[in-house]
Structure formats: C-alpha cells, structure tokens
Amino acid sequence: QVQLVESGGDLVQPGGSLRLSCVASGLSFSSYHMSWYRQAPGKERELVAHISARSSTNYADSVKGRFTISRDNAKNTVYLQMNSLKPEDTAVYYCRSVRGLNVSWGQGTQVTVSS
C-alpha cells in the first residue's frame, strides 16, 4: 500500500520561502513519477511541478523561476522549494505518485502566504 506524507507547509510572508517534503512508502520510489499539485479554496486542483523517474522536470507557468522540484531516491522523498512566494500561492499542496495506472495522493499540507 502506497503512502505519501507531506510536510513543511506554514504561514509565510509575501516574498518568503518554504520547502515542502513528501516521504513515500510502500512503493519502488525510484521508478515512480512524482508531482506536486495545489488546490486553493473554491478552485480546482492544479499541477504545480512534476519530476519524472529519470528526474526530468516541468512546471506550471505561474511558478516557473520561483519553485524547484527535486527528488532523493535514497530517502524516498520529493521536495518542492518555493521562493518569492505570493499570496496567490496560498493553497493546500498535495504530493502525487504515478506509475502506469497506479496513482496515489498524500493528505496535503497547507501553505498560506500573507502579511
């Protein structure tokens, strides 16, 4: 059974930084594609960043140049470094793992950007 546990969400001022972590268990982590999604109140869940099993990355236009996704296969962990945070980045951030038809989600971690 795949389990994804996110952490690192917090209240931060505009312009600040946070690093989210997602620790995975119950899967062969290095063979899975990993992604971060977010969902703001009243909005649909959207893709923020993706890292393939081979560590190629892509980002939503709204976070390019500010966010960086990375993975540590030895620790079964995927990270999201978020810099220059804006109020519009406020959302619950979710980790997702995918390999073929096997898709799993974490429970989410709240990020609030406010002065």
Give the CA diameter of the chain.
42
- Mean pLDDT in residue range 76-101: 98
What mean pLDDT is reported for the chain?
97
pLDDT at 35: 98
Task: Report how far residue 50's alpha carbon sits from residue 68's, in angstroms, rounded to the nearest whole number.
Answer: 10
pLDDT at 114: 97
- Mean pLDDT in residue range 65-79: 98
Cα→Cα distances 20→81, 93, 101, 102, Å: 6, 9, 25, 23
- Mean pLDDT in residue range 29-36: 98
Side-chain-side CA neighbours of residue 84 (13 Å): 7
Q: Which residues pair with 60 in a beta bridge?
A: none
- Mean pLDDT in residue range 36-40: 98
- Mean pLDDT in residue range 90-106: 97
- Mean pLDDT in residue range 21-43: 97
Q: What is the DSSP letter of 106?
A: -
* pLDDT digit string, tens, across residues 3-16: 999 999 999 999 99
Distance between alpha carbon 104 and the CA centroid of its chain, in Å?
13
Side-chain-side CA neighbours of residue 75 (13 Å): 10
Q: Which two tokens stand for residue 97?
A: 């793992």
